[in-house]
Amino acid sequence: MLSFYFILLGTYLYYAKSKYFPAELFRPSFTASKWFGSIFFVIGSAIFIYSDGWAGGFLMTMAGASLAMAMIQFFAVMGKRYFYGLIAMVQFLALIELIYYAC
């Protein structure tokens, strides 16, 4: 989940600079958000590759990236409530995984 979290965060930061991103949603104001998006995407990919091997990790990265791009675009056009609900759900699931690893 943490690797998918980083890929989803990278996708959001990259898509937020697009002209197709809805204006009513929060858009990061710093200029290097595309760079940070790429860095988070690489971190998520590295976690997948480290945990599943290079072939399995690459396949999981491609599946996770496709899912993240589809989810970000789909929930962004549905409105604020759905988009922020997606963000809250992903944050909650990442927190559960971190607590699970800590125990």
pLDDT tens for the chain, 103 residues long, are 889 999 999 999 988 888 888 888 888 878 788 889 999 999 999 999 999 999 999 999 999 999 999 999 999 999 899 999 999 999 999 999 889 988 8
Whose tokens are 């599943």? That residue is 52
- Residue 16, classed as helix, strand or coil, is coil
Helices (H), 1-103: 2-15, 33-78, 80-102
**Predicted local distance difference test score (pLDDT) of residue 22:** 85
- Does this model's pTM top 0.95? no
